[in-house]
Amino acid sequence: MTKNSVNIKLGGEAGQGVESSGMGFARAIARSGLHIFGVQDYMSRIRGGHNWYQVRVSERPLYAHEPKIQLLLAFDERTVREHLDEVVEGGAVIYDEGLKVDEDEIKSKGVIPMPMPLLKLAEELGGSKLMLNTAAVAAAAGILEFDLSYPESVIRDSFGRRKGSEIADRNIRVANAAYEEARRRYAHLFEWKLEAIPDAPKKMVLNGNQALGLGAIAAGCKFCCGYPMTPASSLLEFMFAQARRFNLVVRQIEDEIGALLHAIGAAHAGVRAMTCTSGGGFSLMVEALSLAGSTETPVVVVVAQRPGPATGMPTRTEQGELLFTLFAGHGEFPRAVLAPGSVEQCVYEMARAFNLAEKYQMPVIVLTDAFLANSLRSVDMDAIDFRKITENIDRGKLILPHEHEKIDEALKDGYRRYEFFEDGISLRIPPGHPKAIYSVAGEEHTPEGFIDWEERADNRVKMMQKRMRKLEVAVSDMKLPQLYGPQDAELTLVCWGSSLGPTLEAMERLNDNGVRTNLLQFIDIHPLDWESVADILANCRRWVSVEGNYSAQLSRWIRMNTGLKPAGTVTRYDGRPLNPVYIVEQLQSLLVKV
Amino acid sequence: MTKNSVNIKLGGEAGQGVESSGMGFARAIARSGLHIFGVQDYMSRIRGGHNWYQVRVSERPLYAHEPKIQLLLAFDERTVREHLDEVVEGGAVIYDEGLKVDEDEIKSKGVIPMPMPLLKLAEELGGSKLMLNTAAVAAAAGILEFDLSYPESVIRDSFGRRKGSEIADRNIRVANAAYEEARRRYAHLFEWKLEAIPDAPKKMVLNGNQALGLGAIAAGCKFCCGYPMTPASSLLEFMFAQARRFNLVVRQIEDEIGALLHAIGAAHAGVRAMTCTSGGGFSLMVEALSLAGSTETPVVVVVAQRPGPATGMPTRTEQGELLFTLFAGHGEFPRAVLAPGSVEQCVYEMARAFNLAEKYQMPVIVLTDAFLANSLRSVDMDAIDFRKITENIDRGKLILPHEHEKIDEALKDGYRRYEFFEDGISLRIPPGHPKAIYSVAGEEHTPEGFIDWEERADNRVKMMQKRMRKLEVAVSDMKLPQLYGPQDAELTLVCWGSSLGPTLEAMERLNDNGVRTNLLQFIDIHPLDWESVADILANCRRWVSVEGNYSAQLSRWIRMNTGLKPAGTVTRYDGRPLNPVYIVEQLQSLLVKV
Amino acid sequence: MVAQVTMKDLQSPVEPTWCPGCGDYGILNAVKRALVQLGIPPHQVAFFSGIGCGSKLPDYIRANGFNSLHGRPVPIAQGFKLAHHDMVVIVVDGDGDNYGIGGNHWLHVMRRNINITHIVQNNMVYGLTKGQYAPTSMKGFVSSTSPEGTIEWPINPIAIALAAGATFVARGFAGDPKHLADLIAKGIQHKGYALIDVFQPCVIFNRINTYDWFRERIYKLEDDPNYDPHDKRMAWEKAHEWGDRIPIGIFYINEDLPTLEEQIPALSEKPLYQHEIPPKLEDLEALKLMFV
Amino acid sequence: MVAQVTMKDLQSPVEPTWCPGCGDYGILNAVKRALVQLGIPPHQVAFFSGIGCGSKLPDYIRANGFNSLHGRPVPIAQGFKLAHHDMVVIVVDGDGDNYGIGGNHWLHVMRRNINITHIVQNNMVYGLTKGQYAPTSMKGFVSSTSPEGTIEWPINPIAIALAAGATFVARGFAGDPKHLADLIAKGIQHKGYALIDVFQPCVIFNRINTYDWFRERIYKLEDDPNYDPHDKRMAWEKAHEWGDRIPIGIFYINEDLPTLEEQIPALSEKPLYQHEIPPKLEDLEALKLMFV
Ligand SMILES: Cc1ncc(C[n+]2csc(CCOP(=O)(O)OP(=O)(O)O)c2C)c(N)n1
Ligand SMILES: Cc1ncc(C[n+]2csc(CCOP(=O)(O)OP(=O)(O)O)c2C)c(N)n1
Ligand code: SF4
Ligand code: SF4
Ligand SMILES: [Mg+2]
Ligand SMILES: [Mg+2]
């Protein structure tokens, strides 16, 4: 028997509820005290096609998914066809007995076919074929001998409130029957089991976008606007859902141009403001980004990457916009780029983005991708400590217009929005106070904020230096890449963003295989103390960059700033997330070459 | 006496005709067989403020302007105040005797004040104070003892046709009187003279934008659209002016987004198409650029840079968008970036851009800036040899839909727009032929051009490799940086775009001063055979990049691709063009440090 | 243009990925019928679409297609039309594409009277991105980005088209493909810009504006013998009819204005793509003289 | 808002760079008068402008200003207004800004009825970029980008505003600053989005639509006792009057719709910028439970 370590895949057409079933099951498992990692894969269509959802379970925290599965829940025949090869020997396939599935083929792979009267149970006991999902998940719980009370509690929470408990009751009736039937028929054949750990720390289950939302709200973001774009939409929608509770202004705008400009307007008024989009939408924000740079307006832009160019593969993942976000915008101006790599980092880095934006009065880009945005992870409740955020709010040199006393104190001889200081950062008083009436301009301006209509060379030089100076000062607030694993290693994997999880596990595997490996994660991409980075890399025996893009963009960025070149690169650009097995395989073929 | 080497500045308010007078004078001088270089400096306002125009004259071709002048034509008092210090000893200031100018101050600098009854002559002989310009230029010709027939011929050409010869006659009357008066009063005091070289090769006088227009038209560009933006507008306007003559479709679009998309539509139909803008407009084109990359549509985008960020300094110059144009657009896709550095290069590189675009079915960016776009240069008529363009049109794998025979021959078994070939380039048949009916898509697509709604990993990988492969193949068509000056030098100046002219002269001066210097100009920025570039740079004893931006972007790009770092950088970001004196000064302070 | 074209000629190898019951099927059907009716063979028509459920249409019909960016088919189609003006050019895009993100292109194409037929799949919701409200969603519409109902008034495409100078303004219903086919055919025949806004039920994300909802309300303008689509004032009145009775059909038509193409000298002889390049060397040499 | 404000309070240290005679002087004057008339002190008003000659206005009046990007002041102003809704927010931009490149923001702001006053400096040409035609240029207008005259029909801002749902639609004339001041004051007082399109002679690049040209044609709607600006139908008629007689004044007003701000729960108590951040820790902790 293998306890508490299993990888389950649900598959079916769009519209069959694959994702919601998978997420519900993941949540139920997390409630039992186990850790989960849930990843989805869906097509850019609303009905039909083929979607799957995968839930990996373990007693320790998980950061990535795995290609090999033990249990396949097939909602349609295609799922069996497409995923049978992923099931390990001794694993099982659960499906409705009405599906045309070739049992012999399943058996020939050493996998156990487990047909079940799912539809029948749903219709007979639940009165609706829609409850097939419930039956399927319950059947899985049955063969895993997983305490059904956890799935039941999730069912209660999702149906109990909304449509009266009658539907919940019927679902639970279906679940019980499917559970018992599956356990009776198949549990003894199946090696993998799930056993609750009731005294484990309480867990949350959330994805990257939800984590970003939590971070933003905790940091005091009060204004969020955007235009729907996968995979960023669910962040926007999360903010909409929280608007009432946290007194936020959340707005859907006519386009992404307007979305960033709205945020700039709100930030100009002294409110923490953000927008979120994907690469295509960010393309439209580029001009406004430059305006934020010029007017020194602190805004936070979340860019959740997906495969380009153009519309690319809307529902899949890629890390193809590192260099784009670094250089986007006409003219030269300061910005920061942060790339959190896990759910926890999403929470904290998002909050930090607001601090950096306001402290340095510049736009801050938070780079994620579909894999990070959508993947569910369980984290201990305590791992997300909001005090770390709320107690560290840093609004920099901001005084709000209604803070009369502070203004009186600060303003001895008038207010100049872009006054020169050694650190390049001027006092920021949003409009509204009679002593601080001023203009700002996207044109090159005077310290007062007026357009410098004489276009004086000396003022221009000072303003450019002032703005760019902020980057140098900000370096002190930026984190050097973080090392995981042994200090001393023969191989260092260098990664950023969502590659963290898969690369971490790849590192563990390599160490298990006797290749002493560590990992260097870049969360802060820009600005950075590149001399120190160069030192760190120079101390690495051999480093390889691991990235979800074609041209190994981080490694190119590193080379631009340090001259250093990796021994090789592991890249992936087929729209699928990196995973530990893929990374190790690629490294193997690479290391032969290197 | 100094013959045929002089630097003349005209200054006045916007609206006083400083620019048109300067350009007219420059043209007249070029007609006499001399070479000129004309540079303007104006503010972003229509009337008032302070503008100047500078004409440098020599017997050999000129590529840059110089800060020191011998003759100042002041249309207002401010001009004297602002520019007196630039006049060399023995130089002169011509101005209307009605202006309040402090003669003693002028004299105290060793400069000769030359008040003239310009307004009086204009009004009395011309009947209009508008002819003050004519009088001023003629007076300058007088003290230069420059044959007045050349300015006269320019006056005839500009007034003769349009409003009947009466105005021309009156202008010429004014010119003659001013000329004689100035010569009589002051010519003997003034050392610099201009003497026609009647048998010199015939010259054209044109700026970078006009040169780009010539190159585009000669290359068969038939479709140009844009949205006005300084300093690109005059290129759009040039194309409008030529539309009737060359049967072009030239369009002003509602915004830059639409402008590039219009060009994409026209290129999709099989027409050579372009758009032109400045950095801010290009920011808006970024999304469409990615679409051109994805659909493999050949379009040419001219980006005439000006100082950013945001609206920056609209009428001034900068080279701040090298890295932006290299990485603009979501996702990864092939593009080429070319940066001509002279009027001749503008003609040829613009034409080449269309060849590259069509051969590799990708967007090509031609990067210029306000300095190059606006500066007038004289070039020998023969230096622009249109045959070099028209005989080298290369449309790559294009067959137009009405070329039935070619299509019949090419299409054995159906047409697939994105069929895989070793070089990544597919046959391109624009819509219209019954055997080549197909779709294209900005979403990841099949070889047939349909959206790959299954989002298959293998198709994605092949398509990415196909598109990116074109870059590797294109390298063979790309020019390595061009070396000027001695093969072997102790100092190599590395530059791109409009820095060429000033840097060339700086190189000459350094060599004259005994510092053995050569120059490496990058015209082709991307793609490039970087190994060869690295070899070239490795052979340079010491190299310094000379750029009109803050962060020495070319040097960063070189480092990203080769790991090599310059010994230092000369940068300028005050909105003013580089000039030889500035460069040499900066190098001096740098070389001390280096 | 009197070729014999059958529905089969227009059959694409690609199966639609739309949800069963989606109004887009009706639009696809109507588009095909219109082409058959007019005898336009597939190589002589080019479709330009945006991004959205409905914008996948070009893949589902055998014809030239360009699936572009969200909100951007209109300028691409214009560029194409000016380069190849004897092609029948049809834009098909969503209400999000055209009335949302692409609104500015729309505003400007209407005053150009370029000969393009524009079919907007108006499901009053964002389908492909899973159900956010659209610019045409009715006030109070509840969606993932308007959990308490929208607080913006919807766009009135017909009224705006009238104000912006469109010379053919119509509205159809995906549930009546025959009538819609007729509108599309008339739009194609119209010399100039033709807007056909189409009520297109989204059976997944818009549970308000369903087939039934529309069927209960719509009536045809052509059934009213007093209605004169040449009368802009009448059209303006009808454009504001909403609620219990909602008109479909041709609101407005003006055949008297020249098209954009007709006003461009370079296009008088033959389509631009057929022009020979490069220009004649002597013309280029002559151009040089401008700079002497 | 009944402070005593004088013209001097509104005097900026910056001298206008406009050409002598430019209509923008009249607009600047009218804006100041309106603020004086309403007693709005300079710190309680914020101007948002685009890029163009007229968009330099914020520098020329002592008040809060934001000189933004070409065509983009409207969304910035909205973001600002929602964050600071007791500020008087005024957008001033050009016809190129608002009817050209920024058209989509305009289309959408109108249906939101956010309480912003929008003054468009309509000189029917692109001034700052030296004389290209504008979306409002009359058909046939000759310019550097229309050497043979434009071939597009001009935009009709009044008609589009009516169609798009603006609740206050007016037109003024820079040559009559007193009348214009009155319109602006009414626009500011209007609870909701107010468009004031202003005929603004550009004395350099528009030699057709001069002061005289306008003076010969314009008349005031309020001089017609039968004109009722609450009647949209009448407004639509008047919106199309062009040629020998051109109306100025208030075309349309609708006071009955709530503003955008009023419909946003978070803004009911105080402006957003005054909200304390971060939120309470207990609320955040409670939020976590959503994820269990
Ligand atoms: C620049 C950009 N922003 C956002 C998106 C995401 N997106 C794709 S389709 C769509 C809206 C779809 O709605 P609609 O146009 O009404 O078409 P429908 O799906 O309803 O047919 C959006 C927002 C995108 N592809 N590009
Ligand atoms: C994205 C972008 N495109 C183009 C420009 C150049 N530009 C500046 S002002 C302007 C038009 C000015 O016309 P209008 O808005 O009518 O203002 P006016 O000068 O007439 O007052 C243009 C095209 C720009 N600044 N930004
Ligand atoms: S989601 Fe709606 S619009 Fe999209 S295919 Fe399904 S029914 Fe049609
Ligand atoms: S160019 Fe025209 S709009 Fe601009 S300042 Fe001069 S007169 Fe006014
Ligand atoms: Mg829709
Ligand atoms: Mg204008």
Q: Higher model confidence: residue C273 or residue B43?
A: C273
Instruction: Extract the tokens encoding B323.
Output: 């890295």
Instruction: Please say if the pLDDT value at position B578 is more than 70.
Output: yes
Q: Which pairs count as long-range contacts for B420-425, CB under 8 Å and 24+ apart, including other chains? A: B420/B447, B420/B462, B420/B466, B423/B469, B423/B470, B423/B473, B424/B465, B424/B466, B424/B467, B424/B468, B424/B469, B424/B470, B424/B472, B424/B473, B425/B359, B425/B360, B425/B361, B425/B396, B425/B397, B425/B470, B425/B473
Q: What is the pLDDT of residue A284?
A: 98
Averaged confidence pLDDT in chain A: 95
pLDDT in tens, A459-504: 999 999 999 999 999 999 999 999 999 999 999 999 999 999 999 9
Of all helices (H) and strands (E), which one includes residue B138? helix B132-144
Q: Quickly tell me which residue has 């006009």 as its tokens.
A: B210
CB A458 within 8 A of CB A498: no
| Confidence class for position A15, pLDDT limits 50, 70, 90 | confident
Which member of C59, C104, C273 has the closest CB to residue B254?
A: C104
B428 touches A: beta carbon within 8 Å: no
Interface of D with A in 248-287 (CB under 8 A): 264-267, 272-275, 277-279, 281, 283-285, 287
pLDDT in tens, B316-330: 999 999 999 999 999
Cα C121 from Cα C58, distance rounded (Å): 13
pLDDT in tens, B109-162: 999 999 999 999 999 999 889 899 999 999 999 999 999 999 999 999 888 655
Average pLDDT over residues A215-230: 98
Cα D127 from Cα B123, distance rounded (Å): 30
Q: Which residue of A has its CA nearest to B563?
A: A563
A548 touches B: beta carbon within 8 Å: no
Cα D216 from Cα A523, distance rounded (Å): 66
Q: Provide, as residue numbers in chain B, all residues whose Cβ is less than 8 Å from the Cβ of A316.
A: 455
Reduced to 3 states (helix: H, G, I; strand: E, B; else coil), residue B552 is coil
Cα C273 from Cα C84, distance rounded (Å): 6
Is this prediction's ipTM beyond 0.90? yes
Q: Give the closest residue (by CA) to ligand 4 atom 6.
A: D19
Average pLDDT over residues B268-288: 98
**Angle subtended by helix axes A279-295 and B279-295, to nearest 10:** 170
Q: Which of D122, D129, D141 to mutate to test the pocket of ligand 2 (most atoms within 8 A of CB)?
A: D129
Apex D84 CA angle, D80 and D89, nearest 5: 60
Apex C227 CA angle, C225 and C233, nearest 5: 165
Report the separation in Å between the CA atom of B375 and the middle of ligand 2, taken as the mean of its atom positions: 23
Instruction: Please say if the pLDDT value at position B45 is more than 80.
Output: no
A-C Cβ pairs (cutoff 8 Å, strict) = 67
Q: Give the closest residue (by CA) to ligand 1 atom 4.
A: A229
Which member of D129, D130, D147 has the closest CB to residue B240?
A: D147
Q: Provide, as residue numbers in chain D, all residues whose Cβ is less than 8 Å from the Cβ of C264.
A: 151
Q: Provide, as residue numbers in chain A, all residues whose Cβ is less than 8 Å from the Cβ of D285.
A: 386
Going through chain D in order, the beta strands assigned E by DSSP cover 45-49, 64-67, 88-94, 117-122, 125-126, 132-133, 168-173, 194-199, 218-220, 246-253
Going through B284-400 in order, the beta strands assigned E by DSSP cover 300-305, 336-338, 364-369, 376-380
The answer to whether the CB atoms of C107 and D151 lie below 8 A apart is: no
- Which DSSP state fits A70? E
Instruction: Extract the tokens encoding D55.
Output: 């968009």
Q: What is the pLDDT of residue D1?
A: 45
Cα B514 from Cα B557, distance rounded (Å): 31
Q: Provide, as residue numbers in chain B, all residues whose Cβ is less than 8 Å from the Cβ of C43.
A: 401, 431-434, 436-437
pLDDT in tens, D127-175: 999 999 999 999 999 999 999 999 999 999 999 999 999 999 999 999 9
Average pLDDT over residues D91-103: 98
Q: Give the CATH fold of the D8-291 domain.
A: Rossmann fold (3.40.50)
Average pLDDT over residues C255-279: 98
Cα A370 from Cα A577, distance rounded (Å): 9
Q: Provide, as residue numbers in chain C, all residues whose Cβ is less than 8 Å from the Cβ of A310.
A: 69
Q: What is the pLDDT of residue A460?
A: 98
C58 touches B: beta carbon within 8 Å: yes
CB atoms within 10 A of CB D256: 9
Residue D142 CB less than 6 A away from ligand 4: no
- Which DSSP state fits A473? H
**Angle subtended by helix axes C177-189 and C23-38, to nearest 10:** 50
- Which DSSP state fits C267? G
Average pLDDT over residues A395-411: 96
| Confidence class for position B413, pLDDT limits 50, 70, 90 | confident
Cα B577 from Cα D233, distance rounded (Å): 58
Give whichever of B56-70, B399-413, D66-80 has the largest mean pLDDT. D66-80
Give the pairing type, strands D168-173 and D246-253: antiparallel
CB C165 within 8 A of CB C111: yes
Any chains having at least 3 CB pairs less than 8 A from chain A are B, C, D
Q: What is the pLDDT of residue B161?
A: 58
DSSP symbols for A434-457: TT---EEESB-B-TTS-B-TT--H
Average pLDDT over residues A124-150: 94
HSE toward the beta carbon, residue B495, CA cutoff 13 A: 32
Average pLDDT over residues B474-502: 97
pTM for the predicted model, two decimal places: 0.98
pLDDT in tens, B241-266: 999 999 999 999 999 999 999 999 99
Q: Where are the alpha helices (DSSP H) in B384-455?
A: 386-390, 404-410
CA distances from C106 to A116, C93, D200 (A): 54, 11, 26
Average pLDDT over residues C4-28: 97
Q: Quickly tell me which residue has 């840097």 as its tokens.
A: B503
CB A490 within 8 A of CB A517: yes
Q: Which residue of A has its CA nearest to B288?
A: A310
The amino acid sitting at A126 is G
| Confidence class for position A143, pLDDT limits 50, 70, 90 | very high
Q: What is the pLDDT of residue A161?
A: 58
Per-residue exposure over A296-330, b if at least 16 CB sit within 10 Å of its own CB, e if not: bbbbbbbbbbbbbbbbbbbbbbbbbbbbbbbbbbb
pLDDT in tens, D183-202: 999 999 999 999 999 999 99
The amino acid sitting at B177 is A
Q: Where are the domains of chain D?
A: 8-291
CB A171 within 8 A of CB A155: yes
What is the distance, to the nearest Å, from the Cα of residue D221 to the centroid of all Cα atoms in its chain? 19
Cα A417 from Cα A395, distance rounded (Å): 16
| Confidence class for position C1, pLDDT limits 50, 70, 90 | very low
Calculate how close chain A gets to C7, using CA atoms only, in Å.
25
Instruction: Please say if the pLDDT value at position B594 is more than 60.
Output: no
B310 touches D: beta carbon within 8 Å: yes
Q: Give the closest residue (by CA) to ligand 3 atom 1.
A: C127
Q: Give the closest residue (by CA) to ligand 2 atom 4.
A: B229
Instruction: Extract the tokens encoding C238.
Output: 């009808």
Q: What is the pLDDT of residue B166?
A: 87
CB D194 within 8 A of CB D116: yes
Q: Higher model confidence: residue B486 or residue A46?
A: B486
- What percentage of chain A exceeds 70 in pLDDT? 99
- Taking Cα atoms as reference points, which of D224, D229, D225 lies closest to residue D250? D229
Q: Provide, as residue numbers in chain C, all residues whose Cβ is less than 8 Å from the Cβ of D239.
A: 163
Give the pairing type, strands B568-571 and D218-220: unpaired
DSSP symbols for A383-423: GS-HHHHHTT----SB--TT-HHHHHHH-SS---TT---TT
The amino acid sitting at B550 is Y
Any chains having at least 3 CB pairs less than 8 A from chain D are A, B, C
Q: What is the pLDDT of residue D3?
A: 67
Q: What is the pLDDT of residue A45?
A: 78
Instruction: Please say if the pLDDT value at position C145 is more than 80.
Output: yes
CA distances from A493 to A483, A522, A545, A570, A576 (A): 10, 11, 6, 9, 19
Cα A308 from Cα B333, distance rounded (Å): 8
| Confidence class for position A164, pLDDT limits 50, 70, 90 | low
Instruction: Please say if the pLDDT value at position A162 is more than 60.
Output: no
CB B78 within 8 A of CB B9: no
Residues in chain C: 292
Residue A227 CB less than 6 A away from ligand 1: yes
Reduced to 3 states (helix: H, G, I; strand: E, B; else coil), residue B342 is coil
Averaged confidence pLDDT in chain B: 95
Cα A269 from Cα D270, distance rounded (Å): 14
Average pLDDT over residues A433-447: 97
User: What are the beta bridge partners of residue B252?
Assistant: B226
Cα A456 from Cα B50, distance rounded (Å): 11
- What percentage of chain B exceeds 70 in pLDDT? 99
Residue B439 CB less than 6 A away from ligand 2: no
